[in-house]
Copies of this chain bind each other. A is one copy, B any other.
Amino acid sequence: MEKTDAITALAALAQDNRLDVFRLLVEAGPEGMPAGAVAAALDLAPNTLTFHFDRLRTAGLVTVRRDGRSMIYAARFETMNSLLGYLTENCCAGAPCAPTVACKPARKRDKIST
């Protein structure tokens, strides 16, 4: 991952609502969930949400597809992995950090903590 991409991804995650959105999508797994459901879960105005989705999408942290009138957003774990890779490689003085960290959608967890 390039430095500029890392910065974009970091900036995308460095915001309260966006971090919530991303965590929610991570929990939702690869199938993702409709924008409306995210809006309902996090109590965000639809236009505000569109704004944040745009940032996440620009950062490559999220994908969209249309399903009827719903837009289904899903987390891109690959990008999250690249970001973790970049941070361990460049901000940890090298090798000691990186015993093959990998980010998979996998199993659900108890509950998102705020």
Q: A91: which B residues are within 8 A, CB to CB?
A: 13, 19, 22-23, 26, 80, 103
Question: What number of A residues sit within 8 Å (CB to CB) of B?
Answer: 44
Given contacts A14-B14, A84-B88, contact A26 B98 (CB under 8 A): no
The closest CB in chain B to the CB of A87 belongs to B84
Given contacts A19-B3, A93-B29, contact A88 B106 (CB under 8 A): no
Query: Are B93 and A97 in touch, CB under 8 angstroms?
Result: no
A108 CB-CB contact with B under 8 Å: yes
Query: Are A104 and B96 in touch, CB under 8 angstroms?
Result: yes
A-B residue pairs, 8 tightest by C-beta: A10-B14, A11-B14, A92-B103, A96-B104, A96-B106, A94-B109, A97-B103, A14-B14
Q: Which residues of A contact B (CB under 8 A)?
A: 3, 6-7, 10-11, 13-16, 19, 22-23, 26-27, 29, 77, 80, 83-84, 87-88, 90-109, 112-114
